[in-house]
């Protein structure tokens, strides 16, 4: 396939189609709507299922129904819509079904705005829905990576009977970049012993998230926990930049990681030995490599487009073995590489400390600046 100029959201939609998406259900919300619009003509054109649902509640439960048939199915939304979907996501997880969700994050909380942010890290990674379930979360930083991770999301969802989320944002969703789409894969139902497609020549099956008997529910929870361990062991993905000889490390995912990379390159040009760790799976989090990096460097800078939702994980994982600083822009404001560069300078200059709270130091600086 040749490279072509593609818009993030449409590229994700077409990538899903080519990954064998059999039915799609969505609801309009900016900055995700191009996915819905694109699939509203593309899916029927191919004779596949498409419904513009009455709400995100409707959409996620349509996905739930479609997932029960063992088809590749998906919805997409943005932060407020994803909040509304959490009930359904918990049910899908509790029924141990594969499904894909694309979350094109925007500014918030509440209605917020339609600008890019990373405010959904917690609700996706730490589960806003009820219960002990986890969702695979893949965070792209470019149109090409959005395509690749969408295809991967379907494969992982199917492999682990799990929800896989493509956790992207309004900036990646709206940007146009040259990228290459994958080949069209055939549409086919999963070959499973659980899918519900009519009890033809076999015993009936049913799919439910109910285990009225608590010990059975405990078994189901243990099964999910073991499955997650397997995912943690096999599916961690990340990208390292200039970390081999680094004295300092920046950690950021998605757009924030991409912006941080520009700043890191600039700092390198100035002779500062700084590198970047960009988690691609924010769930499972690349904890092992983060620990290794933390042991090697003198200080770390976490950059996010939220008030430190991933920072909390970085602090927990590194367990005070390295000084950490934090930088963020909130509410739909994107950081500039220059701003991140200033933070790298501050990091390189020191003094660094493992005392105190990186978030409150940042908040003090941010409050003084704005």
Partner 1 sequence: MVAPETQGQKVYSRPESLTVTPTHYCPGCTHGVAHRLVAEVIDEMKLRERTIGVASVGCSVFAYNYFDFDFVQSPHGRAPAMATGVKRTLPDKIVFTYQGDGDLASIGMGEIVHAAARGENITVIFVNNTNYGMTGGQMAPTTLPGQKTSTSVNGRDVETQGFPIRASELIATLDGASYVVRRSLNDPKNIRQAKKALRTAFEVQQRGLGFSFVELLSICPTNWGMTPTQSIQWLEEKMMPFYQLGDYKISQAVAGLKF
The Cα 352–Cα 331 span in angstroms is: 28
Angle, helices 358-369/309-318, rounded to nearest 10 degrees: 150
> Alpha carbon of 72 to those of 32, 187, 304: distances in Å?
20, 8, 32
Nearer CB in complex with partner 1: 44/109? 44
Of 255, 263, 251, the closest CA to residue 106 belongs to 255
Query: Shortest approach of partner 1 to residue 50 CB, angstroms?
Result: 8
Query: Shortest approach of partner 1 to residue 49 CB, angstroms?
Result: 4
Q: Which helix (H) or strand (E) holds 149?
A: helix 143-160
State the residue for tokens 């930083």: 141
Query: Do the beta carbons of residue 204 and residue 196 sit within 8 Å?
Result: no
Nearer CB in complex with partner 1: 176/210? 210
Query: Shortest approach of partner 1 to residue 297 CB, angstroms?
Result: 46
Nearer CB in complex with partner 1: 96/169? 96
Please enumerate in sequence order all residues whose Cβ is within 8 A of that of 66, keeping only pairs 6 or more positions apart, or say none: 22, 23, 25, 49, 73
Query: Shortest approach of partner 1 to residue 59 CB, angstroms?
Result: 8
Query: Shortest approach of partner 1 to residue 55 CB, angstroms?
Result: 6
Nearer CB in complex with partner 1: 131/331? 131
Instruction: Kindly list the residues in this chain that would bind partner 1 in the complex (CB under 8 A).
Output: 22-23, 25, 49-51, 53-55, 57-59, 61-69, 71, 73, 87-88, 91, 196-201, 204-210
Nearer CB in complex with partner 1: 69/113? 69
The Cα 81–Cα 93 span in angstroms is: 18
Query: Shortest approach of partner 1 to residue 104 CB, angstroms?
Result: 21
Of 258, 253, 350, 340, the closest CA to residue 297 belongs to 350
Nearer CB in complex with partner 1: 202/349? 202
């Amino acid at each position: 396939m040749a490279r072509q100029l593609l818009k993030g959201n449409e590229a994700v939609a077409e990538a899903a189609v080519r990954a064998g998406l059999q039915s799609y259900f969505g609801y309009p919300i900016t900055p995700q709507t191009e996915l819905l619009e694109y699939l509203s003509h593309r899916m029927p054109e191919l004779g596949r299922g498409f419904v513009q649902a009455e709400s995100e509640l409707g959409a996620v439960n349509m996905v739930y129904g479609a997932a029960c048939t063992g088809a590749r199915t998906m919805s997409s939304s943005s932060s407020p819509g994803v909040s509304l979907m959490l009930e359904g996501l918990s049910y899908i997880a509790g029924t141990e079904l594969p499904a894909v969700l694309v979350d094109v994050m925007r500014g918030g909380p509440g209605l917020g705005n339609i600008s890019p942010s990373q405010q959904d890290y917690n609700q996706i990674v730490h589960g806003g829905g009820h219960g002990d379930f986890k969702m695979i979360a893949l965070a792209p930083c470019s149109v090409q990576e959005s395509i690749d991770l969408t295809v991967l999301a379907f494969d992982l969802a199917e492999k682990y009977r799990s929800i896989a989320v493509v956790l992207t944002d309004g900036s990646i969703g709206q940007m146009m970049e040259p990228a290459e789409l994958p080949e069209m894969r055939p549409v086919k139902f999963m070959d499973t012993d659980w899918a519900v497609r009519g009890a033809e020549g076999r015993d009936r099956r049913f799919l439910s998230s109910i285990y009225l008997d608590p010990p059975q529910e405990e078994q189901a929870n243990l099964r999910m926990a073991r499955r997650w361990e397997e995912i943690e062991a096999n599916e961690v993905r990340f990208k390292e930049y200039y970390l081999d000889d680094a004295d300092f490390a920046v950690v950021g995912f998605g757009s924030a990681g991409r912006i941080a990379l520009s700043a890191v390159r600039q700092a390198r040009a100035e002779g500062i030995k700084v590198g970047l760790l960009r988690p691609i799976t924010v769930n499972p989090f690349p904890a092992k490599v983060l620990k290794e990096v933390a042991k090697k460097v003198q200080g770390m800078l976490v950059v996010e487009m939220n008030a430190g939702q991933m920072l909390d994980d970085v602090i927990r994982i590194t367990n005070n073995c390295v000084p950490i600083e934090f930088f963020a822009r909130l509410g739909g404001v994107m950081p500039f590489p220059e701003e991140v560069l200033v933070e790298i300078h501050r990091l390189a200059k020191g003094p660094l400390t493992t005392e105190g709270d990186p978030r409150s130091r940042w908040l003090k600086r941010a409050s003084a600046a704005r």
